[in-house]
Structure 1
Amino acid sequence: MTLEFRSVIDQMLATPNRPARSTPPPIRLSQNEMPWEPTGVIVEAMEKAARATHRYPDYHRTAARTAIAAAMGLDVERIAIDNGSGSLLHGLARLVCEPGVHGVYCWPSFEAYPAALALAGAESTPVALAEDGAMDLSAMASALRTDTRIVYLCNPNNPTGGLVGVDGIRAFLREIPSHVLVVLDEAYREFVTSEPFEATTALLEEFRNLVILRTLSKSHGLAGVRAGYAVTTPRTAEALRRTSVGFALNSIAEAAVIAAFSPEGQRVAAERVATIVSERARMEDALRAAGVSFLPSQSNFLFLQGDAADLLARFEAQGVLARPFPHAGGVRVTVGLPAENDAALAALR
C-alpha cells in the first residue's frame, strides 16, 4: 500500500523554486530582507557562540528572553522566543485549535496563517482586505463564530503594507469575546511611522487574550538566523515555551538575539530602519510622479497594482527580483539600497 498523508497536506503551498543564479547577480527585492549584513556586534557574538557549539544551547532561552524583556521594559515571563515568528504562530494555533474549532485571518496576507490553522485541524475563514490594503477589522469581527478560537491580524499587512492604527486594534479587541486568542503579527512594526513604535505594547495590559509577534528577520537583518518572539501574558508565554520544540533556538541565534537587543545593536537597527523609511518615501513620490498605481505602505516594501506578469517582466529586464501576487492583483517589491531602488523605479518608467 502507498503511504497516505493527512488530506490537509495536499492543501499546503509548495516551496517556491528559487531562480537560477545569473551573471551579474540579480537585485534581490523579493523577500523583504534588509540589504545590509548584520552589524559588527552581532557578527562578533555569533562567531564567539560558534566556538561553543559542541554544547547544547539554553533550553529555556533565558538570556535571550531577558534581553528582549529589558529592551521592552517588560517582565521576562511575558516573553517566548522561537525559531522565527512563523514557528510561534504555528505554536499558537496548536495551543487553542483542534478539529471542530474555527479561526479567522485577513486575505491576501501571510500564507502561514491558513497553513497553521489547517495543520491544527481547525476550519478557517479568510476575510478580504480594505481598499487601502489594511485589514478590514469590522468584516473580521463579523466572520467570528461561536466556535472561533483564534484570529490572526497582520499589521502592517504583508504583502500590501496597509496599517490599522492602535485605536482600531483596541476597538476590535473590545468587540470580540475574551476567549478568542488574537495574534497581532507585527513583523514589520519597526517601519511604521504613523504612530509610536510602542503604541501597541500598551494593549497587553488591557487584553489578556492578545499576543504580539515580532521578528529579528527584518529590522535587525537576521532573516537567515531564524529568531522571533512573542509578547503576551505569562500564562500564554509559558504555554508556548512548554510546547516548543526543545533547543529550537540554536546557540548562535541566541547570541545574535542578545547582541541585537544591546544598545549598540538597537542603535544600528534604528539607523538602518530610518534609511529604509526614507527610501520608501522617495520611491512613493517617484511612483506618484510616474503615474504608477501602488498602495501606500507602512512597511519595508511596496505593493504595485497591475498585471503581475507584466510588472514582473519589467523588473526582470532591469535585473530586479520582485515577488508576484497574481491573486492580489500586483507585485510586491522590497525597499532596498538607493541604487537598487533606482533600478526598480527604472523598470516602471
Structure 2
Amino acid sequence: MSLAFRGVVDEMLQTPNRPARQTPPPIRLSQNEMPWAPSAPIVAAMTAAIGMAHRYPDYHRAAAREAIGAALGVDPDRVAVDNGSGSLLHGLARLVCEPGVHGVFPSPSFEAYNAALSLAGADTTAVGLAEDGAMDMAAMAAAIAPETRIVYLCNPNNPTGGLIGVEGLRDFLRRVPASVIVVLDEAYREFVTDEPVDATAALLDEFDNLVILRTLSKSHGLAGVRAGYAVGAPRIAEALRRTSVGFALNGIAEAALIAAFSPEGAAIAEERVSTIVAERDRVVRTLGEAGVPVLPSQSNFLFLPGDTAALMARFEAQGVLARPFPNAGGARVTIGLPAENDAVLAALL
C-alpha cells in the first residue's frame, strides 16, 4: 500500500460515521413460514441435543416414530420420518417410478411433485385446478392411465389454498386402482377449519395405497430444521425407511420433532395456529368488504388473482415480500402477525 493511499484510508477511518438512512427490513411473507421462533419446549430439546452432537442419531428414528404414532393414534410401523416431507415425496417417486411409468399431479401446485417424477424418469400429467383453487378431482381421476403408478394430491393446495373435504377424497380414492399410490400432501392441514384436522386419518384404514405426508415446517415453525413424516400402510412405510439416506434426520431435528408432539409443544402450536387462522379470516373479510378478489383459503396463506406484476409492485411499495405466480395468474402472500397483515391490506386496499 502506498503512503498516499494509506493516508486516504487512515483519514476515512478517522472520519466520524454519518448516520445512514435506515431502511426497514422487508416483511417476509413469501415462504409460508410461521412468524414466531420455535416454542420454548422445542428450543430446550434442541439445545439439549446439541450436547450429544458428537454421537450419531438413531438410525431407525424409533423415538420420533413413536411420538408421531402416539399423537395420531397409529402404529409406529406405519410411520416414516425424514428431513422434511419433500424428501419423502421424492422417496415415494423413486420407489414406484421408472422410465415408461406415469405420474399425475395438480397444477399449479407444489413444484416438487413434477421434479420428483421427472428425476425418477416417469412421464407426467399436470391437471388443472377448479375455479375455487381446489383440485379438480374428476379431472385427476380421468388422468389416471394403465401405466400410472403414483398420484400426488396437495390439500389444501399450494399456492391457492383450496381444500377438498374428506368425502371428496374418499370418492376419489375409490376410483383409483389399488396399484396406484396416492400421496396426500397435507403440509397445511393444521390450518384447516372446514372440517376436523384429523378427519383424513380415517382414510388410512380404508385404503392401503394412501400415504399422508405432513411437515413440522409450518404449524411448529421448524422450516429451518427440516423434519417431516409419512403415514401409510406398513409395507410402504418400511420401504421408505429402508430406502432413506442413513441418519438423514439429524439428532437436533429428532429432538425438535419429539418435543413438538409433547403435550406442551402441541398446545403451543395449536394456539399459534388459531392466531394465524383468526388473522386469515380478518384479512379475507376485510378484502371481501372492499371488493378485492381473493381465493378461499384453508391454509396460512392467501392467493390474490390478478395481474402478477401489478400485485407485486403494490406489495413492494409496502415493504412486503410476496410470491409471484404469473403462470397461475396472481400472487401468494403468507398470513403473518397483525401488523404484517395490516401492511398487506394497505397494499391491496
1:291, CA displacement in angstroms?
Answer: 1.2
Secondary structure class of the residue paired with 1:294: coil
Aligned pairs for 1:249-264 within 5 A: 249-264=249-264
1:92, CA displacement in angstroms?
Answer: 0.2
Map Cα deviations across residues 52-83 of structure 1 (whole Å, 9 max, x no partner): 10111111011111111011111010000001
Q: Which amino acid aligns with 1:251?
A: G
Map Cα deviations across residues 238-272 of structure 1 (whole Å, 9 max, x no partner): 00000000100000000000000000000000000
- With 247-256 and 287-296 compared, the bigger mean Cα shift is at 287-296
Q: Which amino acid aligns with 2:23?
A: T
Q: Does 1:218 align with 2:212?
A: no
Map Cα deviations across residues 175-195 of structure 1 (whole Å, 9 max, x no partner): 110110000000000000000
Distance 1:196 1:344 in 2: 29
Q: Tell me what 2:144 maps to.
A: 144
Distance 1:281 1:318 in 2: 21
Q: Does 1:56 align with 2:56?
A: yes
Q: Which amino acid aligns with 1:172?
A: F
1:281, CA displacement in angstroms?
Answer: 0.3
Map Cα deviations across residues 280-304 of structure 1 (whole Å, 9 max, x no partner): 0000001111211110100000000
Distance 1:308 1:228 in 2: 31
Aligned pairs for 1:191-340 within 5 A: 191-340=191-340
Q: Tell me what 2:39 maps to.
A: 39
Distance 1:72 1:106 in 2: 27
CA RMSD of aligned residues (A): 0.7
Distance 1:323 1:293 in 2: 17
Q: Which amino acid aligns with 1:76?
A: P
Map Cα deviations across residues 103-146 of structure 1 (whole Å, 9 max, x no partner): 00000000000000000000000000000000001001111111
Secondary structure class of the residue paired with 2:214: strand
Distance 2:172 2:269 in 1: 31
Distance 1:25 1:250 in 2: 32
Distance 1:289 1:342 in 2: 15
Which segments of 5 or more consecutive residues in structure 2 lack a partner in the other structure? 1-21
Secondary structure class of the residue paired with 1:295: coil
Q: Which amino acid aligns with 1:340?
A: E
Distance 2:322 2:291 in 1: 19
1:51, CA displacement in angstroms?
Answer: 1.2
Distance 2:53 2:24 in 1: 36
Distance 1:70 1:326 in 2: 42
Give TM-score scaled by structure 2 length.
Answer: 0.93
Distance 1:292 1:179 in 2: 44
Distance 1:136 1:113 in 2: 17
Q: Tell me what 1:77 maps to.
A: 77
Distance 2:143 2:73 in 1: 35
Distance 1:172 1:289 in 2: 35
Secondary structure class of the residue paired with 1:208: coil
Secondary structure class of the residue paired with 2:229: strand
Distance 1:194 1:291 in 2: 23
Distance 1:214 1:23 in 2: 37
Q: Tell me what 1:102 maps to.
A: 102
Distance 1:335 1:95 in 2: 35
Distance 1:176 1:272 in 2: 36
Which segments of 5 or more consecutive residues in structure 1 lack a partner in the other structure? 1-21
1:330, CA displacement in angstroms?
Answer: 0.3
1:23, CA displacement in angstroms?
Answer: 2.9
Secondary structure class of the residue paired with 2:132: coil
Q: Tell me what 1:15 maps to.
A: none
Aligned pairs for 1:138-177 within 5 A: 138-177=138-177
Distance 2:25 2:249 in 1: 31
Distance 1:338 1:103 in 2: 41
Q: How many residues align?
A: 328
Secondary structure class of the residue paired with 1:201: helix
Distance 2:115 2:284 in 1: 33
Q: Which amino acid aligns with 1:90?
A: H
1:24, CA displacement in angstroms?
Answer: 1.4
